[in-house]
Structure 1
Amino acid sequence: MTDCVIVGGGLMGMLSARMLHDKGLNVTVVDKGTPGQESSWAGGGILSPLYPWRYPEPVTRLAALTQGASEVLAQELLEETGLDPEWTQSGLLVIDSEEALTATAWADEHSDIPLHLLHGQQAITAVEPAIAALHNEAIWMPQIAQFRNPRLVKALRASLKHRGIPILADCAVTEIQVTQGKVIGVNTEQGPMPAGQVLVCSGAWSARLVESWASLPVEPVRGQMLAFAAPHGLLNRMVLHRQHYLIPRRDGLILAGSTIEHVGFDHSVTQSARDSLTSAAIDILPALKDCQIAHHWAGLRPGSPNGVPIIGEHADIKGLFINAGHYRNGVVMSWGSCQLLTQLMLGEVTCCDPQPYRYAFN
């Protein structure tokens, strides 16, 4: 019998498993498909919410925890596995001048996140020459970094293997077993798995797994993205403009995202999204019109009200924990969310007030 079955092998599930194991728990990760291949793989990896001043404080709090730990995590994974998650401090340039007043007011209350207003093309050229000719005002956040999602989850999976943590792929959980108000394990397609605790980290599928015990406000929200095969160094900063963004990778790829589509559990890509993303990307960086689209993909975000995740133990079922509903900010809230969850499971003093993340259990 394992101490904890973790249902879902994405970023939240694997990072939670790593933390719980390092605290002495015997954990097993179970995934219905290939671990790390859903929204954890599909996103852009920006270590900041887009327009962070638009989000409620509970999102900012978890983001700040992750931002403070992400570089160390990347270095640990590289040293442990030889796989580089490509933590890169690209900085984030927001070229929406109408956001300036709200952004500066937010920055005044969050002085640990430097934010500067840039006025005039010369100031913008000093930060990112590729776009300066088109814009006269911008918001510059120099300390914002990124992960390369596919490499992050690959490194995490290797880290779990190194620690001897079992990961059962292609093994769907069919039922969470509860007796007299207490979790006793799960049933899977490969048979029952007794456990003292069950942690649901199943992203967009989390609500389905616990629907017998709770009505979680988590739903799939499709996001489509493109990757342009660009010359190395064409773009050096992450850029956000009119809800769309560009992310330069170390090898020259430039990611362009993303759509927000309420289409259920549909992973397919569409020509209309390809066209709109291409147009938005070229509007930000005209040189992309001469670059080929190397990849076009879609992922399903775990949408939730206001983007605040659900983290904690079910109010009426002892041993049933949930870490889900991170919507568009799974990567930037990952470490903070999993740290809070681990502390709650172990009865430790928590890194932040857990109450804002518990509302869905009542």
Structure 2
Amino acid sequence: MLRSHSKLVLLTPGPTPLHDEAVSALALPMLGHMDAEVLNLNAEIQADLRVMYGAPNAFTALLSGTGSLGMEAGFANLVEAGDDVLVLVNGTFGARMAEMAARYGANVRVVTAPSGEAIDPDDVARHLGRARMVALVHGETSTGVLNPLPDIARIVREKSDALLCVDAVTTVGMGPFDMEGLGIDYAYTGSQKCLSAPPGVAPVAISPRALARFDARRTPTPLWYCDFGGLRDYWEKRSYHHTVPVNLHFALHAALRAALREGLYARAARARDVGFAVLSALQPAGFTPFVPTEAARLPTVLALRLPPGLDDAAVRAELRRRGMSVTGGLGDTAGLIWRLGLMGESARPHLYRPFLATLEDLLGERDLVRRFDAALSLQVAAD
């Protein structure tokens, strides 16, 4: 039996605390996936996704799976065996992109950057070659790095005919995103990240150019479940493909509407303000930014190098016992960093005050909450 965890506060880089309106939508009575009411709601989701992605001419939809399915669907539909694919790797999820592309038969080349550093656009220009696709993670969740998407997109657009595939899992929905203006061909996220809906659906956006590439495929898409043709059949022609998770559509619709109602610029400011205040509170206690360059820090995932001597596993276990979930590092950063989520409903001051108060007790520190509130007041005043 699952123990009661109703008071557990998620301060993780995903999933995020559910938006109240998403919770309410989950409790709506079940309808069939071909019910006219569901199909009409899907059309509203598509329109809202075009606003969120900044892609008025894109085909938008929800995949019945998490963000990793969004990642895989791009390679399954837009890459054929032997295609030259350039993947930009500076963390766990960029590496996952490279692995997926290789599994679909691509000739994968990589441009890398050290952990905690952004991809250098000049490196992309030097290695672009005859790539048919360039794939990158906008915000690398594993290290808290924001890659320079506008500069990279400009290089890809001006110097090649490659499709640009972007993992927008920790960025879209928590700030303006200009898919069409940047020339992005395929972008995806997960419902449980910036939108604070339950995990289980992956909002995707596909450009007309990407659909033309798909339609010109020499071979069928090897992944039947997310074949773009079947996806369009359901979302545009309203014909049966597979049973979608209807109640997750209800919840995503509610959370997405709430995000757009709040405003993408306002959400970006909220993440920035809370992140600045948390960093201001913790730096005097020996926590330091893992990403040294401020411009390369991901606003929605604050990666902090731990103070010398702090027992990562023990402190996080005690935080969990006291009702707060914090995520450590992945791979070579395990035991060295914490990754604090600032997406959707996790970017709220009332969640971070008890976390900081608990750290005061656990670490024998003083003034963490006071410094947090002082920094937050400064930021809000500046806004």
| TM bucket normalised to smaller | under 0.3
Higher strand share: 1
Higher helix share: 2
TM-score by length of 2: 0.25
TM-score by length of 1: 0.26
